[in-house]
Amino acid sequence: MTPPQPIEPLLSLFILFVAAKLGEELFERLGQPALIGQIIAGFIVGPGLLRWVSPSPTISFMAEVGIIFLLFETGLKTQPEDVLEHGYISMAVGFFGVITPLAAGWAFAHAIGENAITARFVGTLLVATSIGITAKILSDFGAAQTAFGRVILGAAVLDDILGLLALSMLSSFSEAQSHWANLLLTVVFVSLFFIAVLFLRRTALPRIRGRLGRMRAAAPQWSFALVILLGFSAMSAYIGLAAIIGSFLAGMFVSESRELAEALSERAGAVSSFVVPFFLANIGLRLSPAVLTNAHALLLIAALTGIAAVTKLVACGLSALPLGRRSALLVGLGMIPRGEVGIVVADQSLRIAAIPASYYSIGIAMAALTSMLGPLLLRLVLRPQRPARPESGASAPAAYRDAKGQA
């Protein structure tokens, strides 16, 4: 007996969520980042292996909600003053972390004989660091509030902005005329968006909080935070950025004080525990082993993954040297994952006729592999710094509390 149509999306969500949680539990017990277990779980139950679950609009929507809440929760824990503490370093890491892989990817594709548009696409594919994966890594390692953690988050935000601008430029170059005016307008909108968020956070928000306290509706501050979250995400998407940039800024906006941020983080964490697994598992769900049956595609995946890792490691690591050699290495490793941003760029290849269709799957595979590679390498580097007998209740290993890094 075939289940009614409305049941199928719920059954897919059920299977994917259970698989992701089992993968999370297994990798936690193995002492590995939980996000890798959730990505692999999506691959196992998806078209790659068991074929119990297939990509669908419902799953894609839940994944989008998951990444939005993940970045919102990260924004709640990130005070603008903390990011600006190492602002110049974050800007340098973000800028050179975009230029270097863009140029290397472009040159590589041109060297193997791809057309000009495909070469630009490959360069753009390697640009942006996944804020979602990076935030999850830092959260799992308890490193979000260290010097290198703040630099990574600040640089990843800049990476995504520049990467999505590069994607807009790619779309313009694929057409008969390049719309430089539209690109310039997008840059202006982005700048005004950031300035408005930082200004209103200190001026308008305290007054709004006073009025919220007189409201009779349940959890007025949490309801207001959700309004800001959805509004900023929609506004961010409307002006040409990813919705995740808006959700990150929304978290920073409503966290006017650390006390308020902690209260909202508890509620956001409860929601994230449900929706974030869909984001991570969806990455594995969209990775098909069919690509691996083609020798040429396999070589391209290996080459692009290597270029993606090395360019971020070198460019971002060198830019972060003022923090110390060890912290610079951690910054370089933390910037490797491409995650959902690489998937967004890969999806764009389907809309540009000049780009071979195989690059969609190649891009997905590269994004998934870098999302796994970054946490594994971070684990190897951080392991020697873990104390042999951590004290009960310690919030993070000693290595994370070393804000300057050790030479």
pLDDT of residue 12: 94
pLDDT cut 70: percent of the chain above it: 79
CA–CA distance, 370 with 124 (Å, rounded to integer): 15
Residue position matching structure tokens 């799957």 = 361
Over residues 181-196, the mean pLDDT reads 69
Tokens standing for residue 374: 């970054």
pLDDT of residue 399: 44
Give 238 or 172, the one with higher predicted confidence: 238
22-60: pLDDT as tens digits: 999 998 888 666 877 898 899 999 988 899 999 999 999
Q: Is the pLDDT of residue 388 over 50?
A: no
pLDDT of residue 83: 60
Q: Which pLDDT band, with edges at 50, 70 and 90, does 6 fall under?
A: low
Residue position matching structure tokens 């800007």 = 91
64-101: pLDDT as tens digits: 899 899 888 877 876 666 666 677 898 899 899 999 99
Q: Is the pLDDT of residue 175 over 70?
A: no
Supply the CATH classification number for the domain 15-382. Answer: 1.20.1530.20
Give 197 or 321, the one with higher predicted confidence: 321
pLDDT-wise least confident of 35-49, 217-231, 331-345? 331-345
Q: What is the mean pLDDT of the chain?
A: 80
249-304: pLDDT as tens digits: 888 888 766 667 777 888 898 999 999 999 889 888 887 777 767 888 999 999 99
CA–CA distance, 148 with 332 (Å, rounded to integer): 10
Q: Is the pLDDT of residue 163 over 60?
A: yes
Q: Which pLDDT band, with edges at 50, 70 and 90, does 374 fall under?
A: confident
Over residues 399-407, the mean pLDDT reads 43
pLDDT of residue 130: 77
**Phi, psi (deg, nearest 5) at residue 33:** -55, 130
Neighbouring residues of 78: CB distance < 8 A, sequence distance ≥ 6: 144, 150, 153, 248, 251, 252, 255
Residue position matching structure tokens 């057309």 = 115
Cα–Cα distance list, 306 to 67, 108, 277 (Å): 26, 12, 27
CB 244 within 8 A of CB 67: yes
Neighbouring residues of 124: CB distance < 8 A, sequence distance ≥ 6: 102, 105, 163, 166, 167, 169, 170, 345
Tokens standing for residue 67: 């990444």
pLDDT of residue 293: 76
CA–CA distance, 336 with 142 (Å, rounded to integer): 18
pLDDT of residue 397: 47
Q: What is the SS3 assignment for 284?
A: helix
pLDDT of residue 149: 84
Q: Is the pLDDT of residue 122 over 70?
A: yes
Q: Which pLDDT band, with edges at 50, 70 and 90, does 386 fall under?
A: very low
pLDDT cut 90: percent of the chain above it: 27
Q: Which pLDDT band, with edges at 50, 70 and 90, does 16 fall under?
A: very high
* Domain boundaries along the sequence of the chain: 15-382
Give 312 or 86, the one with higher predicted confidence: 312
Q: Is the pLDDT of residue 401 over 50?
A: no
Select from 387, 406, 407, 384 the least CA-distant residue to 397: 387
